Amino acid sequence: MSICAITRRHLLVCVLALIGLVSFEISFLLPEAHAIPAFARKYGVPCNVCHVPGFPKLNDFGNTFRDQGYQFGADVDLPTHENITMGFWPLSMRTTVGYQAASVRTDGSGFSTGGFGFTGLDILSFGLLHRDISFGLVFTPGLGSAGFGTGASDSDLEAAYVRLNRLERFLGVQGEPGTYLMNLKVGKFELDVPFSEKRSPTLNTPFVMYHYAAGTPYFAGISGTSTSTYANPNSFAIGENSPGVEMAGITKTAITDGYFRYSLAGLSTNTFSGPLSGCPTGATCGTGGRNMNFYGNMTQSFGGYGIVTGQRIGLFGAYGNAPTMVNATCPTCQAVAGSGQPFYRIGADVSLTFDGQWNLFGAFMHGNDSKNLFVSQGIANAQNASWNGGFVELDWYPTQLPLVGMPGWLFSYRYDIIRNERQGDPTFAKNYNNVDSHTFLARYYIHQSTRTDIALHAEYNTYQTKSVGTNGGDLLGQTMLAGLDFAF
């Protein structure tokens, strides 16, 4: 049997074979993951000062450094500081090379694929332009042979923003050290989701609830051979980078010995919607946003930041309008669309730590799309689409074990779940598009320095999407990767 035809009976054999090949890595659907050795070069420290136990996941120190706009509040932060040589440039790159295999089947038929290759390339730059003025840039160039042979990668500017930090000082509020109450970000950026997908150590599959859309069958790696679907013009996902403006803040709270954080973002984008009605036959019509759409998050931690030490709780939510019709006077215009209909997302999250080695975290979210979104698609007797999503992940980064030292390792397990309450199209079963996904990870950090990082990465994911086959069957998928993840 081919190594890419993954079955439960052959799982152990495949894992051992892939590890023996010492090759590894990421799904072609992988969102960009931010690891910045440029900061290590700037301050002369290894990357594990900010990451746990290595890139890309941030530890407590790394999270506060990020929340403060990539600065400590000292002169050494400045790009003109005498300790920063003229040869320094705040630029890093990251990619992964290795072997990936995936399989999927629906209604008794399916296929599998696998091969050696590499993911796309992330070109990243973050830092300070001036005291309390920070920036971020992420560029992913289009590469014809990227994605382990599954198709070319698109070229895009994934992130581009400027952030003005500590604006409260202009109002006469000085605050205590470590207080950054008002920080204004403008551009395109990742939303302040409960747990950053860009920093997740699991690379093969996304956080399902961050990208779930009612009516669109969920899959990871490769799509199903035959699936049923109904049109939903709302393609909003909290896991996608969005252009907009964000006000955020963080302050140390003495009574809890932790941090209070908040963010509130107003968003707009010209790729916000799915199919729109009113498009002339044969024409290619534009898509776009309507009004401002909002996202907010707030968290409170106790006894630390809540990733390596302490505990954390939070609330988050989004509200907006998705367009359903093209502009009658200019149907082919980009970012011009009308008849926006409402949707919302609301959720809660928690993060627990133990012994500086264990981090158990998770989130729950309820989503609702207005029935008028589906009425616009000609669906008879359309109704509101509502669903619940969530995930729980356990990360273990052992610093020591009895008689055996294990520094440099990270082990993770994540369970993602989607449960639908009501379909926008009432002819679809209630459990249509329910998702159960299991992801297992082992990662070993071979080398970390002030200039380069490299990690050995092995990951396996299996998932089930209910009743999405043309004949009502489930979609069953698996992905496996083994590779070398490196940044410089």
pLDDT per residue over 220-246, tens digit each?
877 777 788 998 888 889 999 989 999
Mean pLDDT calculated for residue range 454-477: 94
Mean pLDDT calculated for residue range 130-156: 86
Residue 94 pLDDT > 50: yes
Residue 1 pLDDT > 90: no
Among 465, 419, 427, which residue's Cα sits nearest to residue 225? 465
Q: Where are the domains of the chain?
A: 8-487
30 Cβ partners below 8 Å, 6+ apart?
Answer: 119, 120, 203, 204
Residue 128 to residues 81, 164, 241: CA-CA distances in angstroms?
Answer: 12, 10, 21
Residue 442 pLDDT > 70: yes
Answer for the pair 324, 371: CB distance below 8 angstroms, yes or no: no
Residue 360 neighbours by CB distance under 10 Å:
15
Contacts 24+ apart (CB under 8 A), 112-116: 112/2, 112/4, 112/5, 112/6, 113/4, 113/149, 113/150, 113/222, 114/2, 114/3, 114/4, 114/148, 115/4, 115/148, 115/149, 116/23, 116/148
Find the range with the poorest average confidence among 74-78, 92-96, 324-328, 380-384.
324-328
Among 293, 281, 295, 266, which residue's Cα sits nearest to residue 326? 281
* Side-chain half-sphere exposure of 265, counting CA atoms within 13 A: 28
Residue 26 pLDDT > 60: no
For residues 157 and 369, what is the distance between their CA atoms, to the nearest angstrom?
29
Per-residue model confidence as pLDDT tens digits over 406-440: 678 999 999 999 999 999 999 999 999 999 999 99
Furthest-apart CA pair in the chain: how many Å? Answer: 74
Mean pLDDT calculated for residue range 70-84: 76
pTM of the model: 0.87
More confident residue, 407 or 199: 199
Cross-strand pairs, 486: 95, 454
For residues 163 and 158, what is the distance between their CA atoms, to the nearest angstrom?
16
Per-residue pLDDT, 330: 65
**CATH fourth-level superfamily of 8-487:** Porin (2.40.160.10)
Residue 271 pLDDT > 70: no
Q: What is the mean pLDDT of the chain?
A: 83
Residue 268 pLDDT > 70: yes
- Report the percentage of the chain scoring pLDDT > 70: 81
